Amino acid sequence: MTSKETKATLHERLRLAREMAGLSQGQVAKKLGLHRPSISEMEAGRRRVTGEELAALARLYGVSVDWLTDTTDNQSIDQSRIELAARQLAKMAPKDLDRVLGLLSALRRETGTDE
């Protein structure tokens, strides 16, 4: 496996952060005053992201610029996904959170990973 295969890239982090923030490319573009294809191109790695855009994206997604630009291994990506999911869970109403926790418990039982 090459180092390129094991490292997360900026465009992968941009996509992940957007998805975990629950936003579409169109919503992000509108909030930042850009065209939707610009967001798509950034996430595909075909368009450079300016420093100003990077800072705005980090604020919008609730992550740090350091997290977006850190190209560490995929284990870091997995941990970051968990942290982003936790942020979303923290925003939920208690009854909705209980439903999600019940679903997670059912999934663990179904897959045999219940501890």
Rounded distance, CA 63 to CA 26, Å?
A: 19
Nearest-angstrom CA–CA distance, 114 and 88: 23
Question: Which residues, in sequence order, are bridge partners of residue 111?
Answer: none
Q: What is the mean pLDDT of residues 62-83?
A: 74
Question: Between vectors from CA 74 to CA 68 and to CA 80, what angle results, nearest 5°?
Answer: 50
Confidence of residue 4 (pLDDT cuts 50, 70, 90): very low
Q: What is the pTM of this model?
A: 0.63
Burial class (CB in 10 A: 0-12, 13-18, 19+), 76: middle
pLDDT band at 3 (very low <50, low <70, confident <90, very high): very low
pLDDT at 14 over 80: yes
At 49 the pLDDT is 95
The answer to whether the beta carbons of residues 16 and 84 sit under 8 Å apart is: yes
Taking only the tens place, the pLDDT of each residue in 20-43 is: 888 999 999 999 999 999 999 999
Structural domains of the chain in order of their starting residue, each with its CATH number = 3-84 (1.10.260.40)
